[in-house]
Structure 1
């Protein structure tokens, strides 16, 4: 019998409400609607899914875990792992409460299913905003604690001993001389009443916070066994590539596919809304056939937008139009009128391509009126709904198998599911005749017109005759990454455009924050750090200039503006201590500072740079971070190290240019990303001890390194930066 969950109570939304548990049989207990089960036949090649195995063996199961007869603990992750290590983190939380043997813990992507896997803040199953750990924390603690209590109850009933006499460790339940591993008790545990167990105190943790705990996917990734959507496939799988318009908005006027259709291995050429798809036996055959297509494009309605043209339009709007949004505190006009010094700055930020190592690839097939999709889904709910609408199927007939993704940086979270829609359209156009893998080449991805938005920042600040900052004005021009939501949810601009600005991050006595937008026909997309990836460098470079104008120490100057923000001040002090800030810098070294609060995480970085502004070397970057309880310290460090490379790339190397509605760059030869040559010789990370609940690190670590280095370069005497990527002159 199936019971619908009660989602009206806080417990049902934030944890595992007792009313959501349903006993299915003597050998299984499901904590929720049903045990997760992947699409039929959609298991990784050559391996049996643990979720599929649940059908055939006694087990203990919930939406978040299952334990099979062999004692294997499978954790079902509602969030996507795209390289940020989140599957290990989520598994660690649950395994800790369960007292599992880490060697027997596995992770699978959860199916697309609401409300079991809803993001409690966003109302859909999705991953983003560095929220996965924070918003799964209590859910997984409760799931693990309840399952542990059920195992204890099963052992107590079997051995006729009080539950208080039973201990659990490393996946083994013990009472005196008697013991049983989880698998031996799984069926009996599944028949127990569901308790309301309390999670452990932190003093009892043996997995959470341990540096020696290895990432669950480390071996697979280091041996090449990790499967992504671009790898492998199902029997009879065909590969599709799409010939897309040369400019945004162009349409097919006519085409001749006769030359392509007679090529070896080519199965079909079909027109879909996004272009012309070639379906072939293999990727190379599809690529060659695509090259053989004769297409005449109607460009009469194509975009004429260019990067510089849009920046000019933004500047005009900021000069003469009323802002879309304004916020003010204090009397900034009076502060500027009485100022001893007024400083101004302007910064322009370019389009950036996401350029994940694995281009957006997805697989799908239709069987018996149902659709099965496999990919690195970042927004399962909208992906599932979009595919269902195109295929004319009920949503529950579209099954998503989420596997690891080879990077995303926000691209796979596309609000309109463009990359999944294309696959659904090809499946529809070919009438489900074959399983299909829709591939994208690097050039396809670069030309896809889905980029980090351009932005224009104008900052102005007042200092009194003692050098004390008295007012700040931060104006931001640019498109938000959710423009379609602006009419129904105007507050979305704070998240997608202005978050991380100087007005909100520092306690200037007075100030003003403004945002302007201009009409833009280039689709823009979420990008690692969302608004923070441009607001953080703009504000930190400007605040450093204020400190120099005030003849103040840059750390002390910032601390004066963070007096009411103890955690932000704490990471700044910790980073300063790491470089022995109060002592002179080593000979030939210039230091730059940056600090930010993003995704509920506080982070500070200090760069040590040698050489000259024209020929410099980053000797060291130190980072202090307060993200509450660090679930996996080594993964935190890895994310910060990778984030530093990401920030340096965005600051000094990468730029995507649009001309006449088309991308100029096409691959890494003309869209470079940061290589080892520009990395610091040393990176040091300090994680601040905290009793707070865990927050995120995937994005905060990628925001500050470029600003810290530029602040060092400007202290060397470099010409003040006005645009990115920054190139010394």
Structure 2
């Protein structure tokens, strides 16, 4: 199956169908009308193809890393085509700008729970135009009016005539591009429905799903890298004699990040790496430790003015005149992404061309970084994007650190072998790219009637876009402050402040960006403020959400689901959390049993508003997984840095939530909405820990201060 050719300089954003591989491909086209008549060389940015067998292949510009987005994107096209879902396939689109640009971020990338929102209009248009062209081709072949043709599950029919897409795909590809209007939601047959099988469900269930860590090209060699043990350490010297003498070892080479061994198998490479004799120069290595750094954040907040401050109303007067005030501090640790598939990428040289294969989350950055190292034109670096076994932000590294190593290896070996660069779990955990440590301090004011009058939300910690601080300072700041109480609750007066520390430990985007700690601090504090006001925690929040009816609506729905107005059974307690992130709204109310020292999450009632719910089953799956992710981060996982090196290197010392600790019951309601679709992968993964802690504190558990929280 061929994809598009060169990128013309004169393009518009009209849909285009071109003949390719005996079928039809749809994307963008040159404005020249002649080039729109089936010239494959003029084809750019194909979104779908239909072959002679009627197979519809959708090209996804976003990465599927377990969130089900490839099925979601394909379903948009299938809906507009009225395709047979059993004949729909999906592939990762090639790395090519501007064809596959994320229209919000200006690069080909995946993040911010924006994949559906970003591709919604593009794929609806692509499917609608392809459908119309198939209909026109059929009408011409049958000699019938266009309006007489119907499509149902990939079959075109008119009277007693019937044929599949494949019969007319080539003819459709030769037609000029018509205008086409996507369907109204009232006509949907697939979208918004519950029972839509995910395209990769069978492969994942049987182990047939292929990731970069699996298999590979013929004669593929395996590389592992011995990297510096501490941030800032440099390679002084190494002796690879013993390693090179081991069976299967092809070579030992130095690259900028350390010393690599290349062998025939992974096990051979692992044994050879252990046999390396390396001397590291640690004279300039980091001395940073987690505990001293957190103490430094506290001192910074106490001793100097913030780097950023916003105010609303007169918070100083509100606090000075308050009948009662509440204060709390929260400390959040480094977290490792720890995806099930450790970072892995394959690469090979094909003459003056480089081909990479892996789960690429930031294709534009990855492609450019590799091209620079290999001194190749951008278009000479091809990325074959396949599904990734998790990321949580790690694969989005702005400097493409996990991809550039394969380029250095190919350069150091002269492209002699196709190489799979592997990382063990320990390599992955020790990779020094983590969720930042952050310290929060919140203060709230109440009047004599217990009404909230002011909020102050202060935070100290590094953001994840430090490399952009000079050009996009607001973006960097938002990566620390997104999801704060000042912005999301309607206090009449308030203050938001941020202290930026000097930090030499690399930090990276992490699922939810700052929402994963902001939401927790915000919601625990709001519950404490409600208790101080002797107010119902649901009603207290809704009173502060009058300016945000969608957030208030999901909270109201979650309360109805769990029967909030009816007390829980004896020995049980409930906790509340509500949040807005990535233009999506989520509320979760939990019910726990037992005691603070030995508790069980019995139930989670969750309501979400994600605009139009494209794939309800995927939404539910993402929320269920997100609940586990949030509970894991709140109660189990923490990473420690000691003198510039990570302490925890595998799941024995970095525990994550196990299945037996998942809530016994999860109920999810998806609110009906006519708004454009938004995302759920991140918004649903930040609340559950706060809701459970609120229930524990209402049971009498000691106040949460440091995470992971251990109420016992």
User: What TM-score comes out, normalization by structure 1 length?
Assistant: 0.94
- Per-residue CA deviation, residues 432-474 of structure 1 (Å, 9 max, x unaligned), is 0000000000000111100000000000010000110000000
Structure 2 residue 98 is matched with structure 1 residue 115: yes
Structure 2 residue 559 is matched with structure 1 residue 594: no
Aligned match of 2:223 in 220, 240, 255?
Answer: 240
1:465 and 1:412 map into 2 onto residues whose CA distance is: 51
2:267 and 2:97 map into 1 onto residues whose CA distance is: 39
1:145 and 1:611 map into 2 onto residues whose CA distance is: 55
2:608 and 2:140 map into 1 onto residues whose CA distance is: 47
Structure 2 residue 671 is matched with structure 1 residue 688: yes
Q: Secondary structure at the match of 1:186?
A: helix
2:326 and 2:541 map into 1 onto residues whose CA distance is: 16
Change in CA separation of 1:436 and 1:64 when aligned onto 2, cut-off 3 Å? same
Per the TM alignment, residue 409 of structure 1 is displaced from its structure 2 partner at its CA by 0.3
Per the TM alignment, residue 3 of structure 1 is displaced from its structure 2 partner at its CA by 6.7
Change in CA separation of 1:494 and 1:249 when aligned onto 2, cut-off 3 Å? closer
Task: Name the structure 2 match of 1:204.
Answer: 187
Structure 2 residue 485 is matched with structure 1 residue 485: no
Structure 2 residue 301 is matched with structure 1 residue 318: yes
- Per-residue CA deviation, residues 164-223 of structure 1 (Å, 9 max, x unaligned), is 111111001111111110000000100111111000011110010111110000000111
Task: Name the structure 2 match of 1:17.
Answer: 14
Change in CA separation of 1:336 and 1:61 when aligned onto 2, cut-off 3 Å? closer
Q: Secondary structure at the match of 1:491?
A: helix
1:595–1:604 CA contact under 8 A, matched in 2 = yes
Matches within 5 A, 1:547-626: 547-626=530-609
2:440 and 2:647 map into 1 onto residues whose CA distance is: 24
Per the TM alignment, residue 31 of structure 1 is displaced from its structure 2 partner at its CA by 2.9
Matches within 5 A, 1:191-590: 191-590=174-573
1:5–1:32 CA contact under 8 A, matched in 2 = no
Structure 2 residue 1 is matched with structure 1 residue 4: no
Q: Secondary structure at the match of 1:64?
A: strand
Task: Name the structure 2 match of 1:137.
Answer: 120
Task: Name the structure 2 match of 1:718.
Answer: 701
Per the TM alignment, residue 707 of structure 1 is displaced from its structure 2 partner at its CA by 0.2
Task: Name the structure 1 match of 2:33.
Answer: none
1:648–1:706 CA contact under 8 A, matched in 2 = yes
Q: Secondary structure at the match of 1:32?
A: strand
- Per-residue CA deviation, residues 543-576 of structure 1 (Å, 9 max, x unaligned), is 0000000000000000000012111010000000
Single out whichever of 23-32 and 168-177 deviates more from structure 2.
Answer: 23-32
- Per-residue CA deviation, residues 250-306 of structure 1 (Å, 9 max, x unaligned), is 111111110010100000000000000000000000000000001111110111111
Per the TM alignment, residue 101 of structure 1 is displaced from its structure 2 partner at its CA by 0.3
Per the TM alignment, residue 705 of structure 1 is displaced from its structure 2 partner at its CA by 0.4
- Per-residue CA deviation, residues 486-521 of structure 1 (Å, 9 max, x unaligned), is 111111134311000000000000101001111100
Q: Secondary structure at the match of 1:354?
A: coil
2:26–2:48 CA contact under 8 A, matched in 1 = no
Task: Name the structure 1 match of 2:109.
Answer: 126
Change in CA separation of 1:337 and 1:615 when aligned onto 2, cut-off 3 Å? same
Per the TM alignment, residue 97 of structure 1 is displaced from its structure 2 partner at its CA by 0.3
1:17 and 1:171 map into 2 onto residues whose CA distance is: 24
Q: Secondary structure at the match of 1:63?
A: strand
Task: Name the structure 1 match of 2:630.
Answer: 647
2:677 and 2:658 map into 1 onto residues whose CA distance is: 31
Per the TM alignment, residue 609 of structure 1 is displaced from its structure 2 partner at its CA by 0.8
1:624–1:686 CA contact under 8 A, matched in 2 = yes
Q: Secondary structure at the match of 2:195?
A: coil
2:24–2:50 CA contact under 8 A, matched in 1 = no
Per the TM alignment, residue 4 of structure 1 is displaced from its structure 2 partner at its CA by 2.3
Q: Which runs of 5+ in 1 are unaligned?
A: 35-53
Single out whichever of 306-315 and 102-111 deviates more from structure 2.
Answer: 306-315
1:168 and 1:120 map into 2 onto residues whose CA distance is: 31
Aligned match of 1:32 in 18, 28, 34?
Answer: 28
Structure 2 residue 170 is matched with structure 1 residue 173: no
2:14 and 2:350 map into 1 onto residues whose CA distance is: 36
1:26–1:188 CA contact under 8 A, matched in 2 = no
Single out whichever of 453-462 and 317-326 deviates more from structure 2.
Answer: 317-326
2:455–2:495 CA contact under 8 A, matched in 1 = yes
Aligned residues: 699
Change in CA separation of 1:611 and 1:2 when aligned onto 2, cut-off 3 Å? closer
Matches within 5 A, 1:154-169: 154-169=137-152
Single out whichever of 471-480 and 677-686 deviates more from structure 2.
Answer: 677-686
Single out whichever of 644-653 and 615-624 deviates more from structure 2.
Answer: 615-624
Change in CA separation of 1:389 and 1:156 when aligned onto 2, cut-off 3 Å? same
Single out whichever of 615-624 and 271-280 deviates more from structure 2.
Answer: 615-624
1:568–1:603 CA contact under 8 A, matched in 2 = yes
2:509 and 2:165 map into 1 onto residues whose CA distance is: 42
2:125 and 2:228 map into 1 onto residues whose CA distance is: 50
Aligned-residue RMSD, C-alpha: 1.8
Single out whichever of 429-438 and 24-33 deviates more from structure 2.
Answer: 24-33
Task: Name the structure 2 match of 1:48.
Answer: none
Q: Secondary structure at the match of 2:473?
A: coil
1:646 and 1:336 map into 2 onto residues whose CA distance is: 36
1:29 and 1:88 map into 2 onto residues whose CA distance is: 19
Aligned match of 1:75 in 17, 36, 58?
Answer: 58
User: What TM-score comes out, normalization by structure 2 length?
Assistant: 0.96
Change in CA separation of 1:629 and 1:667 when aligned onto 2, cut-off 3 Å? same
Change in CA separation of 1:62 and 1:193 when aligned onto 2, cut-off 3 Å? farther
2:291 and 2:681 map into 1 onto residues whose CA distance is: 31
- Per-residue CA deviation, residues 324-380 of structure 1 (Å, 9 max, x unaligned), is 211111011111111000110000000000000000000000011100000000000
Q: Which runs of 5+ in 2 are unaligned?
A: 31-37
Change in CA separation of 1:451 and 1:585 when aligned onto 2, cut-off 3 Å? same
Change in CA separation of 1:475 and 1:98 when aligned onto 2, cut-off 3 Å? same
